[in-house]
Homo-oligomer: A and B are copies of this chain.
């Protein structure tokens, strides 16, 4: 059997396209950058790109396709966004109506695909620096919370910033800031360190999305802007049709994480 962590993204996407793989992409193609997908109709594309430009920590744009084009020419010129993710979610008027493995039948000429940076990349950087990532250790989903931090509005798009939380040992907090600061394209530095109430989180044990994780004695909760933010903001607007990846079923690009290091 192939070891999925060692195959090249092109190989992985080919497997996915042929429906030989429809599971989550975590751990696949080690070192290569995975991305969130949001597909929107053209008439919302400018406003959404503006929203991303104004909220780069929550919405770090990696690539945007021309309207009607399903090839992410920068991220992976041999890929097709209509078939190369293991699972997609179809939202009509903001409501999840279907989960599918190919979106050719939904695709129209006025659609624009947005690939947005994902936390997998900076978690790699944390682990390579021997900083524990609790939800991976506990084999859970990362805990995510709505905050009292407002995103900067753009056109119809607005809403609260959603953050993910990782408990970090006190001695590693400075290093965690340093190593994730290197990667602004994949959420970058934390947005908050310490008291959850300062950013409007009442109960750290009951996340709004994902699972709670153990916070050990001597660990500090550290919060990063989360890719769920743009999805939540898009759903607020209730567009006629939006397509996203299914949670955990990401797009695997040809870029390596290290290529996004700013120094």
Contacts and interface: CB of A to CB of B under 8 A. Distances in A.
A66 B262 contact: no
A54 interface: yes
Contacts of A155: 66
A46 interface: yes
A133 interface: no
Given A182-B263, A184-B262, A263-B182, A53 B64 contact: yes
B263 A154 contact: no
Contacts of A262: 181, 184, 188, 262-263
Contact of A64 (B50, B74, B181, B263): B50
Contact of A263 (B45, B46, B181): B181
Contacts of A263: 178, 181-182, 262-263
From A53, A64, A152, name the one whose CB has the most chain B CB atoms within 10 angstroms: A53
A154 B54 contact: no
A49 interface: yes
A212 to B, nearest CB: 31
A61 interface: yes
Nearest to A177: B263
Contacts of A73: 152
Interface string A22-61: 0000000000000000000000011001100110000001
Contacts of A54: 64, 74
A18 to B, nearest CB: 30
Interface in A110-166: 152, 154-155
Contacts of A152: 73-74
Nearest to A61: B53
From A155, A188, A263, name the one whose CB has the most chain B CB atoms within 10 angstroms: A263
Nearest to A62: B53
Nearest to A263: B181
Interface in A221-263: 262-263
Interface string A166-186: 000000000000100110100
Contacts of A182: 263
Nearest to A50: B64
A53 B49 CA distance: 9
Question: 4 closest A-B pairs (Cβ-Cβ)?
Answer: A46-B46, A181-B263, A262-B262, A49-B49
5 contacts: A50-B64, A53-B61, A74-B152, A178-B263, A184-B184
